[in-house]
């Protein structure tokens, strides 16, 4: 499915004309101006899966954030802006094939990290409460409690519960279970599968972070199936050779000037992996 058909960024002439018409000279950064235009990225024509590839500083994340801002998709984490960001976004243009669904979103590494951190913090709170309940159990079980008024009824129930149950049973009844803590890779993969639903535009910024090669291949299959069967469109930035090999993906190489569309096997990053394993082929 294609919702976003074409996205255009301001070129060098557009940027030059913009700065000629403003009088703001007190800024030492004009981000995101001059980031994408330096390699001639002026237009992206999208497929169900479109990938932005390039080294650090090539502008992949900048392009994704600008696209997300212009299309108005949901986002969780804050991101790097500047005083000129709204001006730049206003100069961009979009062509839609269909209305962008409300459940569309951008997912960044910060989102995944915050998700894993929240699980840990939640479990830390449960663990602290568990220790408090251990103390409550011992106090209730061995106390010389006598009910004196109706106000003591709740304490009476707690004393009777402690005296009729083992410590572990008492605590389990009073405390919700910990959210199961997975490894970083497992948590990251679960986050993607929970946030990506049917019929949506999903912008993923280097989703391979925290994922093992096996998990990257599982994510690759999940993205392929979501694009093919569930009406999803994906725009992805990545270095991962597994994600670059996504079936039918259109890949823009932001390391080239001007930016060009490439097959995944032509990309420098993939060739580096290939040549490394080729040199060590006899060791396998």
The CATH number for 71's domain is 3.40.50
Q: Specify the pLDDT at position 250.
A: 98
Q: How far apart are CA 139 and CA 123, in angstroms?
A: 25
Q: What is the mean pLDDT of residues 158-168?
A: 59
Q: At residue 266, does pLDDT exceed 80?
A: yes
Q: How confident is the model at residue 160 (pLDDT cuts 50, 70, 90)?
A: low
SS3 212: coil
Report the share of the chain in percent with pLDDT over 90.
55
Would residue 122 count as lying in a domain? no
Q: Specify the pLDDT at position 112.
A: 80
The structure tokens listed for 81 are: 């802006």
260 compared with 150, residue with greater pLDDT: 260
Q: Specify the pLDDT at position 42.
A: 95
Distance of CA 184 to the CA centre of its chain: 13
Q: At residue 41, does pLDDT exceed 90?
A: yes
Would residue 85 count as lying in a domain? yes
Positive or negative, the CA dihedral 239, 240, 241, 245 is negative
Would residue 37 count as lying in a domain? yes
Q: Specify the pLDDT at position 46.
A: 98
Q: What is the mean pLDDT of residues 4-31?
A: 83
Q: How far apart are CA 163 and CA 283, in angstroms?
A: 65
Q: How far apart are CA 216 and CA 5, in angstroms?
A: 27
Q: Specify the pLDDT at position 5.
A: 97
Q: How many domains does the chain have?
A: 1
Would residue 256 count as lying in a domain? yes
Q: Specify the pLDDT at position 76.
A: 84
53 compared with 152, residue with greater pLDDT: 53
Q: What is the mean pLDDT of residues 37-47?
A: 95
The structure tokens listed for 196 are: 């990506």
Would residue 229 count as lying in a domain? yes
Report the share of the chain in percent with pLDDT over 70.
73
DSSP string, 219-259: HHHHHHHHHHHS--EEEEE---HHHHT-TT-EEEETTSSS-
Would residue 148 count as lying in a domain? no
Would residue 23 count as lying in a domain? yes
How high does pLDDT run on average in the chain? 83
Q: At residue 122, does pLDDT exceed 90?
A: no
Q: What is the mean pLDDT of residues 174-199?
A: 72
Domain that holds residue 258: 4-111+201-283
Distance of CA 90 to the CA centre of its chain: 25
Q: CB–CB of 67/4 below 8 Å?
A: yes
The structure tokens listed for 110 are: 């910060």
Q: What is the mean pLDDT of residues 172-193?
A: 65
Q: Specify the pLDDT at position 188.
A: 81
Nearest to 267 by CA among 48, 60, 42, 28: 60
Would residue 70 count as lying in a domain? yes
């Amino acid at each position: 499915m294609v919702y976003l058909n074409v996205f255009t960024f301001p070129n060098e002439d557009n940027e030059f004309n913009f700065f000629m018409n403003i009088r703001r000279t007190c800024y030492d950064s004009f981000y995101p101006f001059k980031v994408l235009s330096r390699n001639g990225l002026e237009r992206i024509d999208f497929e169900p899966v479109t990938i932005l590839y390039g080294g650090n500083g090539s502008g992949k994340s900048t392009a994704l954030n600008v696209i997300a801002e212009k299309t108005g998709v949901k986002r969780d984490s804050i991101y790097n802006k500047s005083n000129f960001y709204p001006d730049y976004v206003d100069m961009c243009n979009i062509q839609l094939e269909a209305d962008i669904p409300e459940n569309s979103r951008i997912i960044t590494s910060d989102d995944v990290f915050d998700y894993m951190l929240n699980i840990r913090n939640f479990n830390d709170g449960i663990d602290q409460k568990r220790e408090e309940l251990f103390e409550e159990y011992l106090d209730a079980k061995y106390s010389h409690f006598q009910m004196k008024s109706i106000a003591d009824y709740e304490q009476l129930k707690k004393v009777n519960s402690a005296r009729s149950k083992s410590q572990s049973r008492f605590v389990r009844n009073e405390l919700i279970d910990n959210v199961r803590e997975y490894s970083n890779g497992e948590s990251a993969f679960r986050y993607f599968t929970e946030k990506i639903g049917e019929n949506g535009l999903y912008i993923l910024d280097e989703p391979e972070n925290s994922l093992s090669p096996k998990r990257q291949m599982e994510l690759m299959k999940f993205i392929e199936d979501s694009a093919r069967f569930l009406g999803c469109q994906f725009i992805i930035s990545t270095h991962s050779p597994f994600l670059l090999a996504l079936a039918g993906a259109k890949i823009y190489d932001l390391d080239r000037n001007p930016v060009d569309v490439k097959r995944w096997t032509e990309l420098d990053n993939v060739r580096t992996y290939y040549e490394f394993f080729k040199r060590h082929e006899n060791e396998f």
